[in-house]
Amino acid sequence: MENTLHITSGDSAGGSLARAGLPGEVFVWHDIMYEGPRHPGWPDEDILNARAVFLEEATAGGLDKQLVLETLRNQYRRLAESTTREHIVLWFDACLFDQSMLAHIMTCLHLKDAVNVELICVDTFPGIVPFNGLGQLRPDQLASLYGRRSAVTEEQFRFAKVVDKAFATQDAALFEKLSEIIKAPLPWVPAAVARWIQEQPDQKGGLGRLESLALTAIREGNETPGSILASVASADTPPQFWGDTTLWAKINGLAGRTPPLVQIQGPADRLPQWESELSLGDFRITALPNKPDARDG
């Protein structure tokens, strides 16, 4: 099993997995597969460029376009090379972030005729409540899951292709259909898709669920990024698909609407969405008068 490649999401999970004492090499996938320009399956150079531009803009320059492009190219090159491995083990959890990524990676592997692909997907772990993802587990806890891996079936590969198409095309009808499946070949997909449907702008105020939770937390008097994050995490239903930078982007979006719904005060007019010299502790966020018909500017 030395010629094994473990593929997972998130640097935290990847770092713990690398210290878990399992044979083989760890490959952490970096991309957000539930939004942004792309098409189903393997991307061409135009799509990679479009995604690099999207991720730079989505993070207000926190992620450099050229760095993102190089990262994406290397990821797909490495994924293509993985088909020479004796074993590929996919480590993912049940959240929206992971399920959209899992479907895409499975689709790409199938297109490259990968064999001996195994899956470990976790939606709970003893003693960890709430359980949001693999990033919460210690190396020894991850190692304890290794015996639960199962071979990916042809039916699961075919289903992953449908899921990848839904996220790539943002097909609302297909999302609804997927969210209603009772016994899905990848059983964590329906709930993850249902969570993504909740992220679409509502009819009343044009806000998705995470934006609404953030705005509610701010209106309840949470003024610091840390307190807003804690409030939103408490109010949201696990597993959480989002991290701090995603939440900061939502808050920045609330401040950037016309008219704005919140005001950001601090060393910048936006919360930093990636590594920054600015201290989050120096920011204060306050709610502005409610404008129920506000839309993004």
242 and 265 housed in the same domain: yes
The residue segments making up the domain with residue 148 are: 4-198
Domain boundary among 172, 198, 224: 198
15 and 124 housed in the same domain: yes
SS3 state at 285: strand
Q: CA distances (Å), 8 to each of 43, 85, 134, 229, 259, in order? A: 19, 16, 9, 25, 40
CA distance 6 to 205: 42
Q: How many domains does the chain have?
A: 2
Domain presence at residue 204: no
**pLDDT the model gives residue 56:** 94
160 and 253 housed in the same domain: no
pLDDT in tens, the chain (297 residues): 569 999 999 999 999 999 999 999 999 999 999 999 999 999 999 999 999 999 999 988 889 999 999 999 999 999 999 999 999 999 999 999 999 999 999 999 999 999 999 999 999 999 999 999 999 999 999 999 999 999 999 999 999 999 999 999 999 999 999 999 999 999 999 999 999 999 999 988 899 999 999 999 999 999 999 999 999 999 999 999 999 999 999 999 999 999 999 999 999 999 998 888 999 999 999 999 875 544 443
pTM: 0.94
Domain boundary among 198, 233, 259: 198
DSSP 152-206: PPHHHHHHHHHHHHHHHHT-HHHHHHHHT-SS-SSTTHHHHHHHHHHTSPPTTTS
